[in-house]
Amino acid sequence: MTVTKKSIHGEWSSRFAFVLAATGSAVGLGNIWKFPYITGEHGGGAFVFVYLLCVLLIGIPIMIAETMLGRRGRQSPINTMQTLAEEAGAGVNWHYLGWMGVIAGFLILSYYSVIAGWASAYVFKSLTGSFSADAMQVKALFDDFIASPLQLIFWHTLFMGATMFVVARGVQGGLEKAVRFLMPSLFVLLILMVGYAMSSGAYQQGLSFLFNPDFSKIDAASVLTAMGHAFFTLSLGMGAIMVYGSYLPKEVSISKTVFIIAGADTAVALLAGIAIFPIVFANNLEPSAGPGLIFQTLPIAFGSMGGGLIFGTLFFVLLVFAALSSSISLIEPAVAWLVENRGLSREQSCVWAGLVTWLLGLVTVFSFNIGADVKIFGHTMFNLLDYLTANLMLPIGGFFVAVFAGWIMQQRHSEDELQMHPPAAYKLWRFLVCYISPAAVFLVFLNVVGVL
Ligand code: PHE
Sign of CA dihedral 77, 236, 263, 296: positive
pLDDT tens figures, 329-350: 999 889 989 998 898 999 999 9
Q: What average pLDDT does range 63-67 have in this prediction? A: 98
* Residue 252 burial (CB count, 10 A): 18
Closest CA to 107 of 377, 330, 320: 330
| Average pLDDT over all residues of the chain | 92
Instruction: Taking the CA atoms of 24, 26, 29 and 35 in sequence, report the sign of the dihedral they define.
Output: negative
The confidence score (pLDDT) of residue 384 equals 95
Is any atom of ligand 1 closer than 6 Å to the C-beta of 330? yes
In the structure, what pLDDT confidence band is assigned to residue 172 with cuts at 50, 70 and 90?
low
% of the chain surpassing 70 pLDDT: 97
Confidence of residue 200 (pLDDT cuts 50, 70, 90): confident
Local confidence band at 112 (pLDDT 50, 70, 90 cut-offs)? very high
Q: Is 273 in the pocket of ligand 1 (CB under 6 A)?
A: no
Q: What is the pLDDT of residue 21?
A: 86
Cα gap 452→445, rounded to integer Å: 9
Nearest one of 67, 89, 70, 88 to 78, comparing CA atoms? 70
The identity of residue 154, as a single letter, is F
Question: How far apart are the C-alpha atoms of 381 and 388, rounded to whole Å?
Answer: 10
pLDDT digits (tens, 9 = 90+) for 281-326: 998 899 999 999 999 999 998 998 888 899 899 899 989 989 998 9
CA of 390 to the centre of ligand 1 (A): 10
Atom of ligand 1 minimally distant from the CA of 31: 4
Tell me the residue type at 31: N
CA distances from 112 to 12, 29, 359, 428 (A): 25, 8, 13, 35
pLDDT-derived band at 1 (thresholds 50, 70, 90) equals very low
68-72, 183-187, 243-247, 394-398, range with the lowest pLDDT: 183-187
Asked whether 31 lines ligand 1 (CB < 6 A), one says yes
Q: Is the CB of 237 under 6 A from ligand 1?
A: no
Tens-place pLDDT, residues 249-268 = 888 899 999 999 999 999 99
What is the atom index within ligand 1 of the atom nearest the CA of 33?
12
Phi first, then psi: give them for residue 284, nearest 5 degrees: 55, 40
Separation of CA 424 and ligand 1 centre (Å) = 31
Cα-to-centroid distance, 53 and ligand 1 (Å):
19
Q: How many angstroms is it from 438 CA to the middle of ligand 1?
A: 21
Is residue 435 over pLDDT 50? yes
For residues 88 and 79, the answer to whether their CB atoms sit within 8 Å is: no
329 ligand 1 Cβ < 6 A: yes
Length, in residues, of the chain? 452
Give the distance (Å) from ligand 1 centre to CA of residue 391.
Answer: 13
Closest CA to 71 of 247, 211, 240: 247
19 lines ligand 1 (CB under 6 A): no
Cα–Cα distance, 358 to 367 (Å, whole number): 15
Q: Give the end-to-end CA distance of the chain in Å, rounded to a whole number.
A: 44
For 132, half-sphere exposure in the C-beta direction (CA atoms, 13 angstrom radius) is: 10
Q: What is the pLDDT of residue 2?
A: 43
SS3 (DSSP) at 2: coil
pTM: 0.95
Task: Look at residue 100 in the predicted model and tell me its pLDDT.
Answer: 95
Name the percent of the chain lying above pLDDT 90.
77
Half-sphere exposure of 293 (CA within 13 A, CB side): 28
Q: Are 276 and 286 in contact (CB under 8 A)?
A: no
Mean pLDDT confidence for 31-52: 97
Cα distance between residue 110 and residue 117, in whole Å:
11
Residue 4 pLDDT more than 60?
no
Q: How far apart are CA 149 and CA 145, in angstroms?
A: 9
Q: Where on the phi/psi map is residue 43: left (φ > 0), alpha (ψ -120 to 50), or beta?
A: left
Average pLDDT for 7-28: 86
Summarize pLDDT for 155-164 with one digit per residue, the tens.
Answer: 999 999 999 9
Domains of the chain: 15-448 (1.20.1740)
Q: Which of 60, 421, 78 is nearest to 236 (CA)?
A: 60
